[in-house]
């Protein structure tokens, strides 16, 4: 990896981690475009720069978490089913899901279609979005975590599936997005720490590798900071429709490239 590739991956991770378009899918696609081999270091790098992204959320919502300590238990309840399912299926995730471009494309397309159908349902008044994070029950917390586990499939989008299930439960779009951001702290944090623990030897392999990790981390933090702020403002007055169209268009483009 060179400095340009490092910066590009950091930007892609930071922008897409909290948008409902799947950061995993975009990192895989970007790596292929940059012609990067799936080395052990690249896998570690992609995990490490996630820390930069979630640190931006911690920075943005630190005061919110201090003032709303009741949300901590709800986040923990949401985290539990995801953690259990992720741990049980870790080998399938690594060896099957991440090796199939067709699984990735299918997930991108299907979730995009769900966005459009869901927004159509809301537009017709069949769903009333009036709930806030403070209204989340422990049962809803568990349900959100259960659906979040679907994000083990690349292309689904952790943020996307959390927002979708919360919209179905009647939560406002921007409130759903904020909860998805906060839920990233234990979910992505735990997954990243687990991967770092398994690949700790790669960390100290060379000074160059460490420099690349630091640069990627910083770039990801900055990109995620602005991405999170933009999405919240956007969802206050807009729907998920544009993200649905984007995902379907991306899936079609990937099909065309895969079939060449």
Question: Residue 19 has what pLDDT?
Answer: 95
Question: Residue 17 has what pLDDT?
Answer: 93
Contacts 24+ apart (CB under 8 A), 245-249: 245/112, 245/116, 246/21, 246/112, 247/21, 247/108, 247/109, 247/111, 247/112, 247/115, 248/109, 248/112, 248/113, 248/116
Nearest to 96 by CA among 84, 104, 105: 104
Question: Residue 114 has what pLDDT?
Answer: 97
Question: Residue 196 has what pLDDT?
Answer: 73
Question: Residue 46 has what pLDDT?
Answer: 84
Tens of each residue's pLDDT in the chain, 260 residues = 899 999 999 999 999 999 999 898 899 889 989 988 877 788 788 888 988 999 999 999 999 999 999 999 999 999 999 999 888 877 777 666 667 888 899 999 999 999 999 999 999 999 999 999 999 999 999 999 999 999 888 889 999 999 999 999 999 999 999 999 999 999 988 877 877 777 666 665 567 778 888 999 999 999 999 999 999 999 999 999 999 999 999 999 999 988 76
Residue 236, token pair as written in the block: 């206050």
* CA dihedral sign of residues 76, 235, 20, 5: negative
Name the residue range of residue 219's domain.
3-258
Q: Quote the number of domains for the chain.
A: 1
What's the predicted TM-score (pTM) here? 0.91
**Number of Cβ atoms within 10 Å of the Cβ of 61:** 17
Yes or no: say if 12 and 25 are a contact pair by the CB < 8 Å rule: no
Strand-pairing partners, residue 131, are 171
Query: CB-based contacts of 44: which residues, under 8 Å, 6+ apart?
Result: 195, 196, 199, 202, 203, 213
Question: Residue 200 has what pLDDT?
Answer: 66
């Amino acid at each position: 990896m060179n400095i340009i590739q490092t910066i590009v991956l950091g930007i892609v991770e930071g922008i897409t981690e909290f948008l409902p378009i799947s950061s995993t899918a975009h990192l895989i696609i970007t790596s292929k475009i940059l012609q990067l081999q799936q080395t052990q270091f690249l896998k570690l790098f992609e995990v490490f720069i996630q820390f930069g992204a979630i640190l931006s959320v911690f920075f943005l919502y630190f005061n919110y978490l201090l003032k709303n300590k009741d949300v901590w238990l709800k986040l923990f309840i949401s985290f539990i089913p995801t953690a259990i399912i992720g741990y049980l299926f870790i080998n399938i995730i690594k060896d099957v899901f991440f090796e199939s471009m067709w699984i990735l494309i299918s997930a991108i397309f299907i979730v995009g279609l769900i966005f459009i159908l869901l927004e159509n349902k809301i537009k017709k008044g069949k769903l009333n979005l009036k709930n806030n994070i403070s209204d989340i029950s422990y049962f809803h917390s568990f349900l959100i975590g259960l659906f979040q586990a679907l994000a083990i499939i690349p292309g689904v989008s952790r943020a996307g599936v959390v927002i979708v299930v919360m919209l179905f439960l009647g939560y406002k779009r921007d409130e759903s997005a904020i909860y998805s951001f906060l839920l990233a702290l234990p979910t992505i944090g735990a997954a990243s720490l687990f991967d770092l623990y398994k690949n700790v030897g790669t960390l100290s392999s060379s000074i160059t590798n460490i420099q690349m990790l630091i640069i990627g981390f910083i770039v990801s933090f900055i990109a995620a900071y602005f991405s999170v702020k933009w999405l919240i403002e956007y969802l206050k007055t807009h729907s998920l429709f544009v993200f649905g169209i984007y995902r379907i268009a991306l899936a079609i483009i990937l099909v065309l490239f895969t079939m060449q």
